[in-house]
Amino acid sequence: MRPRTYPHLDTVRTALVAWVIAGHALLGYSAVGGWAYDEVHEVTFAPPTELMLAALLGPSGLFVIGTLFFVSGMLAESSLQRHGPRGYVSARAVRLGLPWLVSALLVWPAAVWLAYTADGRGVTFWWVLTHRDPLLDSGSLWFALVLLMYCAAFAAWYAVRPVPRREGSPLTGRRVARVVVLIAAASFAVRLVFPARSGQLADLHLWQWPQCAGMFLFGIAAARRGWAGHVPDGIRRGCGLAAGVTLVVLPGLALATGLRDTARDMGPYLGGWHWQSACTTVVEALLVVAGSLWLVGIAERRERAPRWSRGAYVAFVVQGPVLLAFAVALRPLPAPAELKAPVLAVGAVVVCFALGVLVTGSGRTARAARDVRPHLDAGSRTSGRSGPSPSTLPAAAPFPNDQSENAEPDREG
C-alpha cells in the first residue's frame, strides 16, 4: 500500500523556501545583517526603509524555520515506521548530511571567497575555510545538519522504545498554548548563554534550538492526531486570529519599547536578563506555533501542490552560492539597495527553483529509464514484440510523491 500523501504540506514548504531565499537576499543589503553578503555589501538600505522592512517582513523570520521543522516532524514517524531506524537514519544522512558536508567544506567557502574577492579582500579559499567565523559554516544548510541530528535522536529513541501510531489524547487549544509557553521559556533560558544570532561551531543556531526541536516534536504529536491531513477548524481559526493580532500589534510594540534603529538597538532583544528578550521569545513562540498551524490549515484548500514544488529542496540547497554569485554580478551597477535587493530576491528565487526542477526532473527521468528497461526486455522476450507487455509495466509509474521521506523542505523531505 502506498503511503498517504499531503500535497498541501508541499505547498507550505515550497512557499517557505521561496520566502527564505528572498529574505536572505534582502538581509544581504541590511545594516542589521543576518546573511553573509552583509559583510561585503556595497550599498545598504536607508534607515527608514530598513525599519519599514523590519516591521512588514521581519516578523516572518521569527517562525519560517520553525514551521519547516514542524512539517518535517509531521511526516517523520511514518517514514521511520516504514524504513526502520537504521534505514531511516541512513537515508537522512545521505539526503541531509551529504549536502551539508559538501557545502561546509567546498561550496559555501568558495561562494564567500568569491564575495570577498569582489570586495577587494586579499584572502584565499583556504583562509575562508579555516579562519572565517564560525568554523564549518555551511550557509543556510545548518538547517540540514540540525534536522539530521533531530532525526537521528528520534530514531534512536524509537528503536529503544517504539510507540505504536495512535491518536492519543486530543490536542486542545489549551495544550497548544502550553507548547507556546514551553518554547518561549526554553528560548529565553537558552539565550542567556547563546544570544540570538550568535555563532557556534558549524553555525548550529543553538539559540534557536528550543523553537526548532519544540516544533519538530510538536509536528510528531500533531501527526499522531491526524493533523497532517486536517487541522481542526477551530484550532486553525484561533491560531490565525492569534498570529494576525500579533503581527498587527508587533510594529507598534517595537516602537513603543524604543526600537528605532534595527542595527543599533537590537542588543537587549537578542538575549540576556532583559525584558525585551523575554518579550521577543514570547512573540516568537506565539508566531511559530500559531502561524504554523494556520499555514498548514489554510494550505489544505489546495488539492495539488505547485508543479515546481518538487524542486524546493534543491532550491534550498543551492540558494547560498546563487545568492552570492548574483549579488556579486550586481555590484557594478550604480543602483541603491532599494532596487538591487528586490531584483536579487526575484532573480534568485527563479534561478534556484529552476535548478531544482531541472535536477529533480533529470533524476526522475533517469530513474524511470532504469526501472522500465527490465520490463521492456521482459516484454520483448515473452511476446516477441518491441515494447513492454502491459502486464509487466511498473504499477507505480510515474513516480508518486513519497512523503514518507519528508524530513526536509521539499516534496520528498
What integer pLDDT is reported at residue 160 of this predicted model? 85
At 206, list the grid cell.
543553538
What integer pLDDT is reported at residue 383 of this predicted model? 43
What integer pLDDT is reported at residue 136 of this predicted model? 92
What integer pLDDT is reported at residue 57 of this predicted model? 76
| Cβ atoms 304, 298 nearer than 8 A | no
Whole-angstrom Cα distance, residue 210 to residue 306? 31
Q: Given 3-state DSSP classes, what are the helix, strand and coil percentages for the chain, each rounded to the nearest 5?
A: 70, 0, 30
- Give residue limits of the domains in the chain: 7-405
Query: What's the burial of 162, exposed, middle or buried (CB within 10 Å: 0-12/13-18/19+)?
Result: exposed
Whole-angstrom Cα distance, residue 165 to residue 79? 12
For residue 99, the Cα-to-chain-centroid distance in whole angstroms is 14
Among 252, 288, 290, 284, which residue's Cα sits nearest to residue 270?
284
| Cβ atoms 43, 330 nearer than 8 A | no
Average confidence (pLDDT) per 10 residues, the chain, 413 residues: 75 94 93 87 89 77 90 93 92 96 96 95 94 92 96 92 64 90 96 90 93 96 90 93 88 72 74 89 94 92 81 95 96 94 96 93 55 46 40 31 43 42
| Cβ atoms 222, 284 nearer than 8 A | no
Among 280, 253, 137, 120, which residue's Cα sits nearest to residue 204?
137
Q: Tell me the whole-structure pTM to 2 decimals.
A: 0.85
What integer pLDDT is reported at residue 360 of this predicted model? 86
